[in-house]
Structure 1
Amino acid sequence: MIPNINLLPQDQYQPKRKNSLMKLIIIILLFIVIIFYGINYYLLSNDIAKMEKKTDQLATQIQTEEKTLTQVQSNPSYAIATSVQFAEKYQTPISNIIEVANKYMTGSGELAGLDYKDGQVEFIVYFDNLNEASTFVRNLDNEAIFKTVKLDSASTFTKVDVDNVGEEQTLNENAQYKAIILTTLNPSATIKTGGAK
């Protein structure tokens, strides 16, 4: 019988294990890359489909706007009628606002100015005392045409007599208060109340 003697060193067999481990790592990395690109492809295809849908919607909107533009350019009366309809939708009856403010002007109250801008009204009112100003603000706050009413500032001033301009003025019993009141209009209430046209 011949003995089975292995004269090759044991180190030669280990690289086969390393090679199989490397193959496994490469396969796992390849699998991860394929999954990554698959998910990316799916997400990008969804984004492309959404963008194509938006592009179609915008193309339809452009065609509609071009038709409207040709109507306006070919028929000036159509443009005027459209402008009037637009203006009538957004009319705000300022006369009603002034009437409400004057209704609550008590005693020495005097409406000095009114500024209307973007659904907000700023009242400038002169009063002899601050109690009248607070009563005025409270009454405006109870009105349906105002969504919010706020006393923005109140300052004291004295009317200067034209003949005594050079003389030093002091606060006396003739002093008045200038109140600036900010209000926000309630659109539904202002439309219901009507107004001058």
Structure 2
Amino acid sequence: MGDWFQTIVDVQVAPQNAAALASEVRDWLISSSVILADRTDCVLVSDLGYPPGPRADEAVDASGWSTPWQDVWTNGLDITTTRTVFDGGQGEPRAVTCPYCSREIELVDEYFQLDDAAWEPFRDVVHGWDEGRDVVIPCPACSRRVQPTAWKWADDYFVFGHLGFTFWNWPPFRPEFVEEFARRLEGHRPVLIDGKL
């Protein structure tokens, strides 16, 4: 069955401002009763997270969900404030696009298996970011050198950033919640990714 997640990533916050902005957004979510203030064992990957609050249903569209989603053990919010490659979970990155020439580079074959030759330079980009290095490679099509955060991953499979809010097993967010969340990020551009483990 697995666990589903949605992550809102602020792709513009400076590393030194990530923790302060995370606190502001967390305080807004608590004061809005979307999450509770006391952390519990309710998330994967981290030890503790913020469980859903009494008004969490107002942030999501739970139509079609047969059981109360809050009854799932992993139902909390995990906040990340470090340099991270946020990813879509299961599966493989399908393609990546150059920000300069807009050429899409396919990374999987006809069986949706990673094409090792195509993936090899991008493996270094992804792992480098996780290790604290900016691996800059040329686009295979136009040869312009591309910063790691500038590549556009198909379906936002990878998103590089310093601030992410991962909600475990919440129904899809309502658009108005995502819009208000974006406002709380001081006008920075958020990217919403979802996936399954």
Bin for the TM-score computed over the shorter chain? under 0.3
TM-score under structure 1 length normalisation: 0.25
User: TM-score scaled to structure 2, two decimals?
Assistant: 0.25
Between 1 and 2, higher relative CO (CA 8 Å, sep ≥ 6) is seen in: 2
Q: Radius of gyration: which is bigger? A: 1
- Which is richer in helix? 1
